[in-house]
Amino acid sequence: GAVVSQHPSWVICKSGTSVKIECRSLDFQATTMFWYRQFPKQSLMLMATSNEGSKATYEQGVEKDKFLINHASLTLSTLTVTSAHPEDSSFYICSASLGQDGYTFGSGTRLTVV
Amino acid sequence: KQEVTQIPAALSVPEGENLVLNCSFTDSAIYNLQWFRQDPGKGLTSLLLIQSSQREQTSGRLNASLDKSSGRSTLYIAASQPGDSATYLCAVRDSNYQLIWGAGTKLIIKP
């Protein structure tokens, strides 16, 4: 089946640094990808929707300058958390649209900012 | 290795009926379990989150239960409506803090 590989699985970074999370579609072309985050003991929340070759659409309340999304190819989408702060510590997950076949999901990235 | 299974893969019921969706997992060592819905052309929406220490969660017409010992969760939908038509996913946060997803149940509510 269609697989999205998400890396890294977990990362610890210092406050003020930037962290990049990658999602790769391994055996299909992902025209549309979704990025979510989840704070501890809370539900998953959609951050943004990205379409290959165009700018991402961000949900209300999500800072586009802080969470940079690049979807330059049909097999790779990246989320960069810039100038990370402890409040950005969260679980981030990507999802790729399979069209009529639904969606497939990455395994998630646990980000801890210290 | 944690595996999550959802049965049935598809379900079609008349409007107004109560229904149950099932999710089973092989390893009871989980942090939490979540139910989501997917609407065509859109991302997923989180419905209910059950922590490992909890037995159930309710939101409106939805009730989700968790039985870790038997590796099962159910999502109960009361008085179903056509707007409930979607694909429902469950996902388990395993002991490695990874999200393990079920394949989903495609639900169709017939008016």
Confidence tier at B90 by pLDDT (50, 70, 90): very high
Instruction: Say if the Cβ atoms of A107 and B98 lie within 8 Å.
Output: yes
Q: How many CB atoms lie within 10 A of CB B82?
A: 10
Chain B hits for A97, Cβ within 8 Å: 41
Summarize pLDDT for B31-69 with one digit per residue, the tens. Answer: 889 898 877 655 577 788 898 999 999 999 999 999 999
Nearest to B99 among A43, A45, A108 (CB): A108
B98 touches chain A (CB under 8 A): yes
Summarize pLDDT for A37-89 with one digit per residue, the tens. Answer: 877 666 667 899 898 888 899 988 999 999 999 998 899 999 999 999 999 99
The pLDDT of residue B39? 76
Chain B hits for A10, Cβ within 8 Å: 97
Instruction: State both tokens at A7.
Output: 């890396």
Nearest-Cα distance to chain B for A75, in Å, is 18
List the beta strands (DSSP E) in chain A.
4-7, 10-13, 19-25, 32-38, 45-51, 57-58, 67-73, 76-81, 90-97, 103-105, 109-113
Nearest-Cα distance to chain A for B81, in Å, is 21
Nearest to B98 among A36, A95, A108 (CB): A108
Is the pLDDT assigned to residue A17 strictly greater than 80?
A: yes
Q: Under a CB-based contact definition with an 8 Å cutoff, are residues B12 and B78 in contact?
A: no
Spatial distance between the Cα atoms of A108 and A35, rounded to a whole number of angstroms = 10
Q: Under a CB-based contact definition with an 8 Å cutoff, are residues B36 and B91 in contact?
A: yes
Residues in CB range of B23: below 8 A, 6 or more apart: B4, B5, B6, B33, B35, B72, B73, B74, B75, B90, B102
Chain B hits for A9, Cβ within 8 Å: 96, 98
